[in-house]
């Protein structure tokens, strides 16, 4: 059973309406006059970080990838719960948590600890959203597609061994809050720009048309590898063609009426893997 088959099986279970059919990275709960946004992500040794990585960086990335999901909903973080593994140098993990929670003014709500190898860490983030919470499935034909920053920095960081962009992504929380009231669809780029754009298009019943030369790239990044590598945690959003984003962003294409493929790159379906998928 691969990832898609597993999620399809989960959809046969009793689902809360706020789960939106498991089509998005978050769930929403209406509490009184507010909307709570909930998300959970895990990162594993050998998959999301190399063995021997400084636990400070593990903690930062663990929280950052979850805050990035809140950013895609325009949500203000209320707190996080951590599922921590007791690794060698656990004091550095605590220091990393302190750094990112202080940086983004996010309190720790609690969590759990275990001891297991290889290590897998989990985080649940809870946020408060405004009146409008964009989903990945709200795009419309004719919408322009935008990204908030350069693609490929995480790939370069991983390959160089310096790793800052790869291990310490910076969730676009302020940008997400600025964009949420105006955009039709939004999500963060975690598994590769092409794959995530295809997911947005499929959820929206559209085809994403992307021009490779329009994609902003980190200096020195190979274009085709960058758009399929992932871990960028920039925001991808669809908005009316005449929309002027209130944040720095680059227009990379548009959504069109659904055709035979969910994604066209320079006018044709890409003949390469679109991004990272769990098997």
**Overall average pLDDT of the 23-48 stretch:** 93
Last residue of a domain, one of 68, 101, 129: 129
Give SS3 for 144. Answer: strand
Asked, for residue 188, whether it belongs to a domain, the answer is yes
124 touches 112 (CB < 8 A)? no
pLDDT at 112: 97
**Do 186 and 244 lie in a common domain?**
yes
Comparing 26 with 279, which gets the higher pLDDT? Answer: 26
Q: Are residues 148 and 108 in the same domain?
A: no
Residue 50 backbone zone (phi > 0: left; psi -120 to 50: alpha; other: beta): beta
My answer on whether 64 and 8 are in the same domain is yes
> Cβ contacts of residue 104 below 8 Å, gap of 6+?
67, 77, 171, 173
Q: Which of 94, 129, 164 is the last residue of a domain?
A: 129
Q: Are residues 124 and 11 in the same domain?
A: yes
Specify whether 260 is located in the same domain as 149: yes
SS3 19: helix
The answer to whether position 103 is within a domain reads: yes
CATH code where residue 39 lies = 3.30.1330.10
What integer pLDDT is reported at residue 253 of this predicted model? Answer: 98
Q: Is residue 93 part of a domain?
A: yes
- Return the pLDDT at 168: 96
Task: Report yes or no on 276 lying in a domain.
Answer: no
**Range of 58's domain?**
3-129
Backbone angles phi, psi at 31, to 5 degrees: -125, 110
Q: Are residues 14 and 99 in the same domain?
A: yes
Residues 16 and 91 in one domain: yes
Do residues 148 and 251 share a domain? Answer: yes
Distance, CA of 198 to CA of 192 (rounded, Å): 10
- In the chain, the number of structural domains is 2
Give the CA angle between residues 11, 15, 20 to the nearest 5°: 80
Q: Are 88 and 160 part of one and the same domain?
A: no
Q: Of the candidates 113, 137, 128, 127, which has an alpha carbon nearest to the alpha carbon of residue 67?
A: 127
Same domain, 58 and 150: no
Nearest CA among 134, 103, 117, 145 for reference residue 37: 134
pLDDT at residue 279 greater than cutoff 60 = no
Q: Residue 278's pLDDT is what? A: 58
Alpha carbon 97 to chain centroid distance? Answer: 19
Same domain, 99 and 185: no
Higher pLDDT, 131 or 65: 65
- Domain boundary among the residues 129, 159, 184 is at 129
Per-residue pLDDT band for 33 (boundaries 50, 70, 90) equals confident
User: Do 65 and 167 lie in a common domain?
Assistant: no
Assigned token pair, 93: 């993990």
Asked if the structure places residue 199 within a domain, the reply is yes
Confidence of residue 107 (pLDDT cuts 50, 70, 90): very high
- Give a yes or no: residue 273 inside a domain: no
CATH code of residue 226: 3.90.650.10
pLDDT at site 35: 94
């Amino acid at each position: 059973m691969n990832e898609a088959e597993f999620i399809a099986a989960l959809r046969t279970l009793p689902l809360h309406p706020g789960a939106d059919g498991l089509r998005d990275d978050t769930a929403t709960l209406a509490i009184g006059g507010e909307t709570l946004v909930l998300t959970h992500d895990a990162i594993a040794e050998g998959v999301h970080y190399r063995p021997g990585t400084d636990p400070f960086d593990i903690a930062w990335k663990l929280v950052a990838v979850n805050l990035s999901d809140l950013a895609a909903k325009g949500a203000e973080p209320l707190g996080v719960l951590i599922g921590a593994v007791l690794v060698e140098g656990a004091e550095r993990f605590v220091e990393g948590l302190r750094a990112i929670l202080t940086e983004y003014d996010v309190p720790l709500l609690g969590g759990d600890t275990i001891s297991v190898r290889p290590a897998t860490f989990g985080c649940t983030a809870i946020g408060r959203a405004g009146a409008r919470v964009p989903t990945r499935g709200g795009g419309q034909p004719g919408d322009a597609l935008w990204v908030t920053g350069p693609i490929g920095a995480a790939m370069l960081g991983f390959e160089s061994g310096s790793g800052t962009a790869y291990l310490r992504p910076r969730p676009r929380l302020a940008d997400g809050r600025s964009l949420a009231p105006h955009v039709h669809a939004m999500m963060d780029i975690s598994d590769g720009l092409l794959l995530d754009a295809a997911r947005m298009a499929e959820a929206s019943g559209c085809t994403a048309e992307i021009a490779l030369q329009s994609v902003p790239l980190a200096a020195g990044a190979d274009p085709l590898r960058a758009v399929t590598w992932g871990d960028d945690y920039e925001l991808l959003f669809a908005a009316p063609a005449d929309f002027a984003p209130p944040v720095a962003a680059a227009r990379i294409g548009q959504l069109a009426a659904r055709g035979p493929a969910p994604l066209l790159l320079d006018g044709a379906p890409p003949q390469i893997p679109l991004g990272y998928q769990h098997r």
